[in-house]
Amino acid sequence: MSLNLIGQEQALARLEAALKTSTAEQTELLLLRRSQAVTRYAHGEIHQNVYQDDVQVGVRVVVNGAVARLTVHSLEPDALARTLAQAVATAKLLQPNPLFKSLAGPQADSTGPATAPYFYASVAGQLPQTRADAVREIVAAAEGAGFASFGTYKATVDELAVVNSLGVRAYAPSTTAYLRALFDNGQGTGYADALSRDADELDAAALGRTAAEKCRLNQNQREIAPGDYAVVLEPDCVADMVRFPVGWGLHARAVQDGYSFMIDKLGQRVTGAQVTLWDDARDPRCRPLAIDYEGQPTQRVNLITNGVAEGVVYDSYTASQEPGKTTTGHAYNPFEYGDAVLPANVLMAAGEASISDLVSHLERGLLVTRLHYTHCPDPQRVVATGTTRDGTFLVEDGKIVAAVRNLRFTQSVLELLDTVEELGQAKLCQDWWSQNGMGDINYYVPALRIGRCTFTGVTTF
Amino acid sequence: MREEIAEAAVEQARRAGATYAEARMEDSFTETISARDGALESMERTEDNGWGVRVLVGGGWGFASTTRSDSHAVRDLVAAAVEIAHASATVRKSPSLFYASDFDPAPSAEVAEYASPVQRDPATVPLSEKVALVLDACNEASKGAHVNTANAHLYSREQRKYFVSSNGLRLRQRLTSTGGGVAAHARAEGASYHRSFDNYHQAGFEYVESLNLRAVAQRVGAEAGALVVAPWVEDRRTTVVLGSQMLSLLCHESCGHPIELDRVLGAETAFAGTSFLTTDKLGGFQYGSPHVNLTADATLAEGLGTFGWDDEGVTAQNLPIVRAGNFVGYLSSRDTAPAIGRSSGGCARADGWGRMPMVRMTNVSLEAGPGDTTLADLIAQVDDGYYLDTPSSWSLDDKRLNFNFSTELCYEIKNGKLGELRKGASFSELTPTFWGNCQAVAGLGEWQLWGFLGCAKGEPIQSAAVSHGASPALFTNLNVVKGGK
């Protein structure tokens, strides 16, 4: 289906026309139009190939201090007017929420450019055959090496627009392309992926080479005993680890609810001095976007600087709960995650070392390619647990000496980041959850050489 | 939306060369009312209407979906699905694991309807009644000692589906589900702790009334306050009794996912992983002890995974999965079942109009033990151990073999009786070892059904509502450690 963008003029005009009919004290209309194509392959053939064109409009109204939010999957004027009227009628039946102060007001610079670095025709105009051709190239690389191949090509076009009765008027189109290759040799797997706003940046051949190289190494696995090991974590692993302080600590909601490790820690050291983390949704090295889901300009927020706790991110609601705070432009997608506030474009200070360099500096330890299904058994200590996958290797005297079976790690991420010894080159990536549609947090983080990571169990493969 | 759109789409797909086509329209209405710290935090209602068409053309699959219902929508969407199918066909294998010959145009015409049994339609319940209920629960949870934040919510959903296939099926379904929950977060002595409850059934508002959220909230608030100042659990390998809610998640994670046949065949390798329950194990693998019987039942009363037909039009079934510890069955669909020489188990489900159907859990449950053994009877069998319930975190490897779970609630068991509260219990084990150490399952009187709204699988991600039932059970030799040690 050829994709016709709604466009800034039409999107804002539709929302503003509806806004004019509102009788609420405050009204917000949030549009997310998402067109997404996903091509999946397994055992060297495309087994799922889908496309969805969806439009959602969230209507939030405030009446006598009560807040109601209704969502409708239509941008038709009648549907918007009906939903708005229902939202007002609903809010009139509710009690006031004394914690809610106001919707966000207008700020300068609330409209992103309609062109790069957010939006690329390589994604918006992509044909199904283009994805199939990229998949065929990867499948051929796997078959040339004697491996089975699995993976995904995902192409997404978003149009995000917000208007509200306080004068916010914002629009940002964006594109995202993501390509993944996983090769299986029957004993172990190899992995590579790439994420970009521009599909032309995805190099199927290069991903095929990397996945094949990893897969060749990941054979004749040894089982090693659980325990403490020095590690080199590739950027995908670092993203998975950093997700824990991000999700359970580095936003105002976690602080205000009383479970963040940042409580009473501002200005104090919380990780090793090598660690500097910040959020900046406008940094082109990440997955940039000019506005958040309240139409507020996204701002850079320093989270941890040289190991010292520096700040957390806010949306308009959490900012209103603390004197002197204003939103930092971090309202998260309410259609998927409710009233959440999160750092969603996290950057970490990086170095120049390649993964090979980091491995060469490891006397004895493990190289970990990727993690799987991580979770947080103790949020206050920011403890992570999960298993390794797609290539875990024993390193001795700076050289990979064997593939090892997957391991379960259980480790406080703050303690892990306390023993960072060397920063490698960074990569744009997502944590395992976000890669797979269960979040939308982006990271530009380096590979890390780390002094100690605790592994608590082994698998039998 | 008009049902004629779906019928026109199937006809259009056939004209475009589809050897099989199906269209599914879905209209849903979801309402969530949330309170936080005594105030009504949000009132959210979502109307979601759209449709999708899946085609098999030239040996390739294509699926496309839209919210559009204008005069060109059928033409455009079928063309999109066909174009995608042609692209799929350029990267195919023969023989294929994923393109079963089961998808043929053989007629199996049927026109039928299914609806959830509902006593009190949630749409007819006054909003003021719902708001009062959720605020009351939130306030009661707040009264627990040391409670820093409390919240409560009510949930209801009505989903209407119309399915049309090129082999003559026309199926209408109306599914209604309701539920609610409450959570309290306590903070004291520099520590914080979370205690919660939530449950959902396929039923009307009568299910919400049966939850008695006020009493639940009082218990949750009190337990949060007690747990935050309780001593940490002591690390030891010991005997445990697991509560029904904890076991329902174990049914989900360590049984429900590894028996998805598409996952076993490799369809999810690049995302969620594969399964240790490979097809060579079917009928000849000791999954658990003789006390372990697991069933996937899409006909179970009030289950969120209950329906008349799956989203390929296959009738709901009750499937044996584990019998006396032996692994005997998978969850399957029309395209996967031929790989094990069976016909579809009727487990192809889609997350709304925008998603294609894939193998999903229905209601995978641990069957109750024989007789009338109670939770107290199980605890009485333990001299020294723990009683654990309510999951707080879960993590499994990509074959669903090595797992780690944490629980919100932990009591010591001493001399056959519950002792002190402990906080922060976690345990790790290999799936068959864990179920192999099951020594007893309580009887039907202790069996409870737990609803999960968000089982994630597939790309783009699909969120399925499923249920799992279990009675408490006794397990030996489980390594319990302080969470995150």
Nearest beta carbon to residue A377 from set B44, B131, B483: B483
- The reported pLDDT for the residue numbered B326 is 98
Q: Which of A31, A49, A460, A461 to mutate to test the interface with B (most CBs of B within 10 A)?
A: A49
pLDDT tens digits for B312-361? Answer: 999 999 999 999 999 999 999 999 999 999 999 999 999 999 999 999 99
Q: How far is A48 from chain B (nearest CA, A)?
A: 7
- Please tell me if residue A321 touches chain B, with a CB cutoff of 8 Å: no
The helix/strand/coil state of B73 is helix
Bin A267: left if φ > 0, else alpha if -120 < ψ < 50, else beta. left
CB contact (8 A) between residue A90 and residue B430: no
Chains A, B: CB contacts under 8 A, how many? 294
Using CB atoms and an 8 Å cut-off, which of residues 388-427 of chain B contact chain A?
392-399, 401-402, 404, 406, 424, 426
Cα-to-chain-centroid distance, residue B128: 30
Position A114 scores a pLDDT of 46
Segments of chain A scoring below 50 in pLDDT: 114
Contacts of B396 in chain A (CB under 8 A): 373, 387
Cα A223 to Cα A178, A226, A406, B82, distances in angstroms: 33, 9, 8, 48
The strand pairing partners of B150, in sequence order, are: B184
The C-alpha atoms of residue B123 and residue A61 are separated, in whole angstroms, by 21
Residue B395 contacts residue B449 (beta carbons within 8 Å): no
How high is the pLDDT of residue A337? 87
Task: Tell me what pLDDT residue B96 has.
Answer: 87
B362: number of CA atoms within 13 Å, CB side? 30
Cis peptide before A117 (omega within 30 of 0): yes
Measure A140 CA to nearest chain B CA, in Å: 10
Which residues of chain A are within 8 Å of residue B41 when distances are taken between CB atoms? 67, 97, 99, 339
Over chain B (485 residues), the average pLDDT of each successive run of 10 is: 90 96 97 92 90 96 95 96 97 86 67 96 96 96 96 98 95 98 94 95 98 98 97 96 98 98 97 95 98 98 98 96 98 94 95 97 98 97 98 93 95 98 95 98 98 96 97 97 71
Chain A residue closest in CA terms to B267: A42
Test A38 with B272 for CB contact under 8 angstroms.
no
Nearest to A51 among B64, B271, B272 (CB): B64
Angle between helices A8-20 and A77-93 (to 10 degrees): 40
Is B154 an interface residue toward A (CB < 8 Å)?
no
- Contact status of A76 with chain B (Cβ, < 8 Å): no
Residue (of B394, B397, B311) closest to B347 by Cα position: B311
CA distance A233 to A424: 10
How far is residue A441's CA from residue B8's CA, in Å, rounded to a whole number? Answer: 40
pLDDT score at A211: 98
Residues of B in contact with A193 (CB under 8 A): none
> What ipTM did this prediction achieve?
0.95
DSSP labels, B281-340: GTTS-B-S-TT--EEEETT-TT-TT--SB-TTSPBP-EEEEEETTEE---B--TTTGGGG
A93 interaction partners in chain B (CB closer than 8 Å): 127-128, 131
Q: How far is A374 from chain B (nearest CA, A)?
A: 6
C-alpha distances in Å from residue B95, one per residue of A183, B99, B234, B275, B332: 20, 8, 54, 22, 19
End-to-end CA distance of chain A: 43
Q: How many CB atoms lie within 10 A of CB B230?
A: 18
Residues of B in contact with A241 (CB under 8 A): none
Rounded distance between C-alpha atoms, residue A113 and residue B53, angstroms:
35
Q: What one-letter code names the amino acid at A441?
A: I
pLDDT tens track for A201-239: 999 999 999 999 999 999 999 999 999 999 999 999 999
Q: Is A410 on the interface with B (CB under 8 A)?
A: yes
- Among chain A residues, the shortest Cα distance to B72 is held by A1
Measured distance CA(A343)–CA(A439) in Å, rounded: 12
Closest-approach residue (CA) in chain A for B357:
A48
- What's the predicted TM-score (pTM) here? 0.96
Angle between helices B213-228 and B127-142 (to 10 degrees): 20
Cβ(B151)–Cβ(B36) below 8 Å: yes
Report whether A66 contacts B40 (CB < 8 A): yes
Q: How far is B396 from chain A (nearest CA, A)?
A: 6
Tokens read off for B278: 């490979």
B294 DSSP β-pair partners = B322, B366
- What is the distance between the terminal CA atoms of chain B, rounded to a whole angstrom? 54
Residue B228 is encoded by which pair of tokens? 């935050």
Neighboring chain B residues of A259 at a CB cutoff of 8 Å = 185, 187, 192, 194
Reported as type and span, the H/E element at residue B209 is helix B205-211
Q: Tokens 């080479």 appear where?
A: A209
pLDDT digits (tens, 9 = 90+) for B392-421: 999 999 999 999 999 999 999 999 999 999
CA distance A215 to A180: 14
The SS3 assignment for B380 reads helix
Identity of the residue in B90, B131, B406 whose CB atom sits nearest the CB atom of A132: B90
| Contact indicator for B41, A99 with CB cutoff of 8 Å | yes
Longest Cα–Cα distance of chain B, Å, equals 73
pLDDT confidence of residue B106? 61
Rounded to the nearest angstrom, the minimum Cα separation between A283 and chain B is 26
CB distance A42–B266 less than 8 Å?
yes
- With beta carbons under 8 A apart, name residues in chain B contacting A71: 44-48
Q: Is the CB of residue A401 less than 8 Å away from at least one CB of chain B?
A: no
Q: What is the pLDDT of residue B406?
A: 95
User: Tokens 């949704």 map to which residue?
Assistant: A281
